[in-house]
Amino acid sequence: MGRGFLLMLLLTALPAAAAQIYKYTDAAGNTAYSNQPPDGVKAQPVELPPLNSVERQAPPAPPAEATSSEQSRSAYEVLELTNLPTTEALRANNGTFTVNVLIKPRLQGPHLFRLLLDDQPYGQPSNVPILQLVNIDRGTHSLAVQVIEGEDVVQQSPIVTFTVQRVHKP
């Protein structure tokens, strides 16, 4: 161990008011430090600089409760659906496909994703950003994702309009 580290360890281990450190040379010729002068060895008191101190500050007050509309504007920087074609038809012969949710920052603890298909809740809420739609009819649809906490909507993505193309079976 370095002498500086040893000195620092001794300085922090002693109470500040009663701290007196002595410097001396041991029998092997090494410089040593102690809080008590050794018997039969010439020791010199070490002048210690004043200790640094920092006054404790009170923690900042928690922010006031935000209204639902304020939460929806500030909860997530990015919330949008991806993996959906907007200029061409989505080919899903059985009407089953997945969409991805792009969200920044990550989904927070109590929040869940809920899809809105044609302005109606679709499926079960989930915390997974990959959502599956099953047996969706062919034609044009709208889709959005909401971040919810219980029954409250925290934030909603922009609505994406898309067309499902399926094989028609007579």
Residue 90 CB coordination number (10 Å)? 20
Structure tokens at 1: 């161990």
Domain membership of residue 153 (yes or no) is: yes
pTM: 0.54
Domain membership of residue 76 (yes or no) is: yes
Query: H helices within the chain, ranges in order?
Result: 3-13, 68-74
> 43-59: per-residue pLDDT in tens?
888 887 777 777 777 77
Domain membership of residue 58 (yes or no) is: no
Please check whether residues 99 and 145 belong to one and the same domain: yes
Cβ partners under 8 Å of residue 135, min gap 6 = 94, 95, 96
Please check whether residues 73 and 29 belong to one and the same domain: no
Mean pLDDT value across residues 90-118: 90
pLDDT top residue among 72 and 80: 80
- The enclosing domain of 108 has a CATH number of 2.60.40.10
CB 157 within 8 A of CB 80: yes
**Where in the sequence is the domain holding 20, given as residue range(s)?**
3-46
> 2-28: per-residue pLDDT in tens?
566 555 655 555 444 456 888 888 888
For the chain, what is the domain count? 2
Domain membership of residue 78 (yes or no) is: yes
Closest CA to 148 of 108, 114, 102, 107: 114
